[in-house]
Structure 1
Amino acid sequence: MLVLSRQRDESIIIGDNIVITVVDIRGDKVRLGIEAPKEVPVHRQEVYEAIQRENALKTNAPKDELPAEKKS
């Protein structure tokens, strides 16, 4: 794992098109701004893990037990 130190308004560049900026620091919380292409999903870890669990349940559930897809 690469560990970097940044101050408010400083950024980290990932590849050619992802920018992570320290927007604010308050006590033990850091607010980050993330600029990434729309095709690159960006989630907090707990949200990502919930999505993975839900996808695993859908994959393992019998077809007749899956919730109906919403139609637009």
Structure 2
Amino acid sequence: MGLSTTHLIIFLVIIVLIFGTKKLKNIGADLGGAVKGFKDGVRDGDKAADPAAATTTAQVAADKRADGQTIDVEAKTRQ
């Protein structure tokens, strides 16, 4: 009951007739650009988040050693 090769070819021909090859090319280029932008954003977000997290953790650890008391880490990072 799955899709055969003939069904896929008919489906693609109908899509090309409806949208046209130029519009499909533009849609493909836009989709590719969006995926590339998403990957770049994720990569840049990881690089920017790591130093900030390490600095905050070091500050909390230093404060804990100075006071000798337990510190709520979430409250400390919200400030």
**Do they superpose with TM above 0.5?**
no
Structure number, greater radius of gyration? 2
TM-score of the aligned structures, taking structure 1 as reference length: 0.32
TM-score of the aligned structures, taking structure 2 as reference length: 0.29
**Structure showing the higher helix proportion among its residues:** 2
